[in-house]
Amino acid sequence: MLTKTNQECPTRFPMPSSKPEHVSVVDFRDAFVATLQNLHGKSLAESTDQEKFIALAALTKEIISKNLIETRKQRAHDKPKQVYYLSIEYLLGRLLESNLVNLGIRDTCAEALSLVGIELNTLLAQEEDAGLGNGGLGRLAACYLDSMAALGLAGHGCGLRYRYGLFEQKIVGGYQHEYPDNWLKNRSYVWEYRRPEEKASVRFGGTVRVHTNGRTKFIHENYEHIWAVPYDVPVVGYKNEIVNTLRLWSAEVDISSHTCSIYGQDCNNVISYKHGAESLTDILYPDDSHYEGRVLRLKQQYFLVSASLQHIIHSFRLHHSKLSELPDKVAIHINDTHPALAIPELMRILIDDYSLDWEEAWSITVKTISYTNHTVLPEALEKWPVSMLEQLLPRIYMIIHEINERYCRDIWTKNPGDWDRVRSMAVIADGQVHMAHLAIAGSHSVNGVAKIHTEILKNSVMNNFYTHTPNKFSNVTNGITHRRWLLMANPLLAKLITDAIGPSWLDYPCDLTKLTPFAKDAAFLEDLAKVKLQNKLNLAKYIKHKYNVIVDTNSIFDSHIKRIHAYKRQCLNALHIMHLYNMLRENPNIKMTPRTFIFGGKAAPGYYKAKKTIKLITTLADKINKDKTINGKLKVLFLGNYNVSLAELIIPASDVSEQISTASREASGTGNMKFMMNGALTLGTMDGANIEISEAADADNIFIFGLSAEEVLNYYRHGGYNPWDVYNSDPRIKTVVDQLVNGFFPVDQNEFRTIHDALLYHGDEYFLLKDFSSYVSAQQQVGETYLSKSLWQQMCLLNIANSGWFAGDRTFSEYAAEIWHLDQPLPVWCQCQSQALH
């Protein structure tokens, strides 16, 4: 039902009726002014933009609060199955505009503010991004919250309320410098509700006493306990009056019960103990696709999981008595392995707190929990030392040990004598707990995030697990919220679409296929080009203001924005730009479509090579942007502090979407989908969701190059690639690689030595040189195609028209139906079939 087939589409499920708030413009204005005065004790004229923003957010929250209470009341009555999405990251970005849009009062609000001389956009820009995530994984969690609420389902997020989000990036002298992201400047977040009465106690350390008197009991003693205090962020459904919540836990210690004397007479010691313990939720670890085995991180993971599970079981028991019904009434989903301790924690609660026996508890746990895998990169797979777990979480470790024993026995029974298989699948091996193995063993569903990624899991990375339990494995290709990434980020395009095909695409994103016939409508294509130009002018203005660089809005805006990582191959892009520059220096009159290359992205602070990549791009940008001899044909920009808000500015203004990861390494990508929906053409490898984008948009409408995943995996398995061969046989490559270290750049000759040596002396692990020539050709084709304006616009249009399949609502419907088994009817997605142009 949910896959693209040619069968007849069943009748549509009607979306929950849209009942936008009936607030009059004048009432809204008066309420705004009253809220402002009340909150700040200032008149409108005396207030700063920040104060006005806070007042507008507070007024919006007032409306949300009513819906939140109503939703809760309705749910207490209907008792629908609840979904809890556990994620260590949520990359929310700003919420004011999305809340106004979802409430259906954005226009009313804008008009009301204009009556008192305020531009809504000015206030929207006052909001700090909530950057509680690193990149794709955290943004995905945020997009799903939005979809769950839009579809009216009882889905909640659980996460951590980091005091500091992902670091703020500043570029100084071409290098990345990191600054704390102090997003909670006033110690509170305008959207949250603090709920101290629902705090949970999370225990660390101590010992476990085994008490056998008929029934074996495990008594956890001498532990340290920290309070997890919840802060609920409302998640507003699109025009359906539903409000779900994202519950973020914050660590707190209540010292009023500690006598100072046990800390050595001095109350200062009690206070510093409090600060130390509460620092548990201070920072988000800034690593993307990389595992860091620090004890504080393990504490964070358990803190999230234990507080959330206690809350989930408590809520369940308010309405249901039998724990055996848990899997029918609750689905717990873990976003990658970071919350995988949910498995032993649920076992602990069921066995120790509710006296269930092992088999019963295990059956409930497995049926309740499902797991999404996000990566095949070996360096990202979490493994915790046994000694660390044993010390920090003694009871949890005992349970993991027992899970491992039983799981290994089961594998052995099915494969007698196959020790290698048992060892490769064990939850505990070589003194380490393998979190992915724990997650697979303890859940009923394991899914990858794009077709190719799931195939690689099944056939290669997790093949042993797949043959052991094939039915656990499935694919759910990622999606993004079209409301944020198209409706809000690109209002001009959204209007053009609605004027052409009506507004049904807002509820049924697959209705974007109704745009297909406009691919032959010259006037429409011209309007599409005008929208893009306007968005490019907006971005150019930002660039001029912030970097004092003037860019040509008739040039191709070619964007490569994402975390900086070797496998994402920002270096390949840089080497290609060096090659273009070399050609222009040789012959300034050579025919070349003018380009503006835009980069953005953060490097993990300890990731040396990624930071050097930033320096390479900024150094190249300096050299090229200053060079008058190339007649402004090339510009290179590195836009600092890439985050959700910056993505919302760059993506609608881009012509080309660089998705050039080494094939097989990018699980899905979601940046690629945002660009597609905004009418940028993908230049990419056959990796992650790029493959499905090329199927949906039709291969003619995107630019594909490079090795296939199969070829890459074969090289990894059997060797056979020597970068020196490529280097010696292609003078274009030799030149750019040499330029890294031969004084071409006005920097220390060793500045880019690491990058140079990785390519030549360390085997070019990500196949940059191997893919270089095919990348150059694809880029050449991009340049030529762009000159044919109407063809280009037609390609853009067909991408937009077929992007509905990548809406998060579709992804979420698949999770709901096939993994969480929710009983609510959901829209069907077969009208997403790609529509070829005939």
Ligand X SMILES: *Cc1c(COP(=O)(O)O)cnc(C)c1O
Residues that bind ligand X (CB under 6 A): 91, 135-136, 139, 562, 643-644, 647, 669-671, 674
Question: How far from chain centre, in Å, is Cα 612?
Answer: 24
Q: How far is the CB of 95 from ligand X (least distance, A)?
A: 14
**CA dist., res. 197 & res. 258, Å (int):** 20
Q: Would you give the DSSP letter of residue 129? A: P
Phi, psi angle pair for 826, to nearest 5°: -130, 160
108 and 101 Cβ atoms separated by less than 8 Å: no
Q: 157 or 442: whose CB is closer to ligand X?
A: 157
Q: 435 or 644: whose CB is closer to ligand X?
A: 644
Annotated catalytic residue, options 61, 562, 565, 595: 562
Q: 35 or 570: whose CB is closer to ligand X?
A: 570
Question: How far from chain centre, in Å, is Cα 674?
Answer: 12
How is residue 340 written in tokens?
């995988």
Annotated catalytic residue, options 374, 383, 484, 579: 374
CB count in 10 Å sphere of residue 373: 22
Q: How far is the CB of 712 from ligand X (least distance, A)?
A: 18
Computed over its alpha carbons, how large is the radius of gyration of the chain? 27
Task: Please report how many Cα atoms fall inside a 13 Å half-sphere around the Cα of residue 804, on the Cβ side.
Answer: 27
Q: 199 or 484: whose CB is closer to ligand X?
A: 484
Q: 232 or 658: whose CB is closer to ligand X?
A: 658
CA-to-CA separations, 256 to 201, 230, 259, 775, in angstroms, rounded: 16, 20, 8, 64
Asked if 12 is an active-site residue, the reply is no
Which residues have CB under 8 Å from 363's CB, separation 6+? none
785 and 795 Cβ atoms separated by less than 8 Å: yes
229 bridge partner residues = 250
Q: 139 or 161: whose CB is closer to ligand X?
A: 139
Q: Which is nearest to 526 in space by CA: 506, 500, 489?
A: 500
522-547 and 491-501 are packed helices; what angle lies between their axes, rounded to 10 degrees?
Answer: 170
Annotated catalytic residue, options 383, 602, 674, 810: 674
Asked if 458 is an active-site residue, the reply is no
Q: 659 or 833: whose CB is closer to ligand X?
A: 659
Q: How far is the CB of 189 from ligand X (least distance, A)?
A: 19
Q: How far is the CB of 809 from ligand X (least distance, A)?
A: 17
Q: Given the DSSP bridges, would you call strands 383-385 and 432-434 parallel, antiparallel or unpaired?
A: antiparallel
Helix (H, G, I), strand (E, B) or coil at 428: strand
Asked if 5 is an active-site residue, the reply is no
Helix (H, G, I), strand (E, B) or coil at 118: coil
Q: How far is the CB of 808 from ligand X (least distance, A)?
A: 12
Q: 64 or 130: whose CB is closer to ligand X?
A: 130
Q: How far is the CB of 565 from ligand X (least distance, A)?
A: 9
* Sign (positive or negative) of CA dihedral 484, 485, 491, 497: negative
Annotated catalytic residue, options 281, 670, 685, 811: 670
Phi, psi angle pair for 407, to nearest 5°: -65, -45
Q: Which is nearest to 617 in space by CA: 574, 556, 562, 657?
A: 574
Q: Given the DSSP bridges, would you call strands 428-429 and 432-434 parallel, antiparallel or unpaired?
A: antiparallel
**Degrees to nearest 5, angle at CA 297 with 340 and 182:** 120
Asked if 670 is an active-site residue, the reply is yes
Q: 247 or 562: whose CB is closer to ligand X?
A: 562
Helix (H, G, I), strand (E, B) or coil at 23: coil
Torsion of CA 35, 39, 43, 45, to 10 degrees: -90
Q: How far is the CB of 569 from ligand X (least distance, A)?
A: 12
Q: Would you give the DSSP letter of residue 566? A: G
How is residue 508 written in tokens?
């049924």
Q: How far is the CB of 666 from ligand X (least distance, A)?
A: 7
Annotated catalytic residue, options 383, 563, 565, 602: 563
Question: How far from chain centre, in Å, is Cα 505?
Answer: 23
Minimal CB distance to ligand X: which residue? 671
Q: 130 or 403: whose CB is closer to ligand X?
A: 130
Q: How far is the CB of 294 from ligand X (least distance, A)?
A: 23
Q: Quick one: residue 716, left, alpha or beta (phi over 0 = left, psi -120 to 50 = alpha)?
A: alpha
Asked if 299 is an active-site residue, the reply is no
Asked if 756 is an active-site residue, the reply is no
Annotated catalytic residue, options 568, 576, 579, 612: 568
Q: Which is nearest to 756 in space by CA: 747, 746, 768?
A: 768
Which amino acids are annotated catalytic? Answer: 374, 562-563, 568, 670, 674
